[in-house]
Amino acid sequence: MVMPAANPPSPVRWNRAMLESLPDDGQRHEIIDGVHYVTPSPASPHQFVVTELLGALFIYLRAEPVGWVLTSPSDIELAPDTIVQPDVLVLPRTSDRRPRRWDEAGLPILVVEVISPSSRSRDRIVKRPRYQRAGIAEYWIVDIESRLVDRWTQAHERPEIITETLHWSPPGAGTVFSIDIQALFAAVTE
């Protein structure tokens, strides 16, 4: 279950310095609009989906060098009071040199969250509008249980629900990234 770290909620608005002062406890700590969230380590199906997506995106971005694909932990600062750790993200590739620090990486062009029972409402209700307000061009919510992907873009107020093949056309790419959603879920849940 995901809940704000402080019970009852504190009127204190969290920031980077407060987040960085926490001891390393092996859990994922994020702040979204000044609220501190703690998420326990994910279950294995979650991690297998993350790995499959990472691999597919890595291969695609080797052929279409428009971005760098990464997984968390990765402190992506969307605002002074919002630091998130998406499951998978693609940073824009502005040169052949990889970014050395998060603050020089730029805004991700793709963010992917694989929902778990403990993160379902936060990924859909809290993070989604925050990613859109920050200007993230595309946000995928991967739902293993329902075997679908909600694809959110900046231009739309409602998601595209993908149950078959997911296509992504990042700026500057000559080909389209495609992944069979049902094959992805079958590979990690059977």
**CA atoms of 151 and 35, how far apart (whole Å):** 25
Q: Classify residue 86 as exposed, middle or buried by CB count within 10 Å of its CB (0-12, 13-18, 19+).
A: buried
**What are the per-10-residue average pLDDT scores of the chain (190 residues)?**
50 84 82 82 84 95 93 84 89 79 80 83 80 91 92 87 95 94 84
Q: What's the pLDDT at 6?
A: 45
Q: What's the pLDDT at 8?
A: 52
Task: Give the CATH H-level superfamily of domain 42-189.
Answer: tt1808, chain A (3.90.1570.10)
Q: What's the pLDDT at 177?
A: 96
Q: Hey, where are the domains in the chain? A: 42-189
Q: Name residue, tokens 């998130």.
A: 84
Q: What's the pLDDT at 43?
A: 78
Q: Answer yes or no: are the C-beta atoms of 54 and 86 closer than 8 Å.
A: no
| Exposed e or buried b per residue across 107-127, where buried means at least 16 C-beta atoms within 10 angstroms of its C-beta | bbbbbbbbbbebbbebbbebb
